[in-house]
């Protein structure tokens, strides 16, 4: 009986972790899919999101629930600035060049976080009761439950943005065929900036949600970047539903790997998934290359 309970507990943890992974993955799959940029700043935006949470809650003593929208907005602005300064002048250069510029930006920004806040891990206090919510055999802390709900809400909002708004329509058109979309009157520059901003705000949101669950430190985004790539590869480029499913698959693999194999190899799961998928099914598990959505 206990082994079953243990398994159920792993599933609950998977749900919580998978929600934030899905956010990370959606952000990156939009940027990678629409702009064809291998975005290494994704992880640092995740780190920034967590630090914004820390600053707003700890330093300014503001409400925990107010800090989350602040993180999303700051992530959005940072993303827009990165796109305007670094990517717009390089429009048309090859993917290696933009990737290296993103690596340069990542190094500079990560060192900036280290400079500003120091290397000591910070924790963000959350206004939730200490006792976890017990549902039969499994228990989940209120904070993690909040993370799951908030992540789900953001995923739904993004889905609506892509599929129900004019901007989303322009993004989908640009993904299909940039030149034709441009001929049809789509402002491709605006689409690119918006895509990068939206993707970055989702990464910041993921960091803001997971920051209080774990601790906040400057290198926390490094693994997040690569995990986001794993999710994008699993789900197929530009496929939002695929990214959500990929996020949950990665979370499940990590939970089960840590629970039943060895906790030291938790982070290896994502990489093994990447290698396996790219060897056996390079188009991702859910290829739908024709559209974003």
Contact residues: other proteins, CB under 8 A: 32, 38, 86, 89-90, 93, 95-97, 99-101, 103-112, 114-115, 222, 226, 229-230, 233, 262, 264-265, 267-268, 270-272, 274-275, 278-279, 282
CA 213, CA 145: separation in Å to the nearest integer?
11
Q: Let me know: does 241 contact 231? Beta carbons within 8 Å.
A: no
Nearest CB to other proteins, comparing residues 73 and 107: 107
CA 32, CA 39: separation in Å to the nearest integer?
7
User: Could you tell me whether strands 138-140 and 133-135 are parallel, antiparallel, or unpaired per DSSP bridges?
Assistant: antiparallel
Nearest CB to other proteins, comparing residues 93 and 163: 93
Nearest CB to other proteins, comparing residues 99 and 152: 99
Residue 143 CB, nearest distance to other proteins (Å)? 28
Nearest CB to other proteins, comparing residues 19 and 284: 284
Strand blocks (E) in the chain: 133-135, 138-140
Residue 105 CB, nearest distance to other proteins (Å)? 6
Strand blocks (E) in 70-193: 133-135, 138-140
Residue 100 CB, nearest distance to other proteins (Å)? 6
CA 279, CA 273: separation in Å to the nearest integer?
10
Residue 206 CB, nearest distance to other proteins (Å)? 19
User: DSSP 3-state assignment of 128?
Assistant: coil
Nearest CB to other proteins, comparing residues 73 and 114: 114
């Amino acid at each position: 009986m206990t082994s079953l309970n243990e398994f159920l507990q792993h599933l609950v943890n998977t749900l919580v972790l998978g929600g934030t992974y899905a956010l990370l993955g959606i952000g990156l799959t939009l940027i990678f899919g629409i702009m064809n940029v291998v975005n290494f700043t994704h992880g640092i935006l995740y780190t920034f999101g967590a630090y914004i949470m820390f600053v707003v809650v700890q330093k300014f003593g503001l409400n925990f629930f107010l800090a989350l929208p602040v993180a999303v907005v700051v992530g959005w602005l940072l993303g827009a600035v990165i796109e305007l300064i670094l990517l717009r002048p390089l429009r048309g250069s090859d993917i290696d060049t933009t990737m290296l510029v993103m690596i340069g930006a990542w190094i500079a920004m990560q060192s900036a976080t280290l400079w500003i806040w120091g290397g000591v891990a910070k924790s963000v206090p959350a206004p939730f009761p200490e006792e976890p919510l017990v549902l039969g055999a499994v228990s989940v802390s209120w904070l993690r439950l909040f993370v799951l709900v908030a992540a789900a809400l953001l995923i739904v909002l993004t889905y609506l943005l892509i599929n129900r708004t004019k901007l989303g329509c322009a993004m989908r058109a640009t993904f299909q065929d940039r030149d034709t979309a441009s001929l049809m009157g789509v402002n491709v520059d605006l689409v690119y900036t918006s895509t990068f901003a939206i993707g970055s705000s989702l990464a910041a949101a993921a960091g803001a949600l997971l920051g209080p669950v774990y601790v906040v430190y400057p290198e926390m985004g490094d693994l997040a970047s690569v995990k986001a790539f794993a999710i994008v590869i699993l789900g197929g480029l530009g496929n939002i539903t695929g990214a959500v499913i990929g996020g949950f698959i990665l979370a499940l693999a990590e939970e089960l790997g840590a629970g039943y194999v060895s906790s030291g190899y938790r982070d290896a799961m994502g990489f093994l998934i990447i290698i396996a998928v790219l060897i056996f099914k390079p188009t991702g598990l859910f290829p739908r290359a024709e559209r974003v959505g």
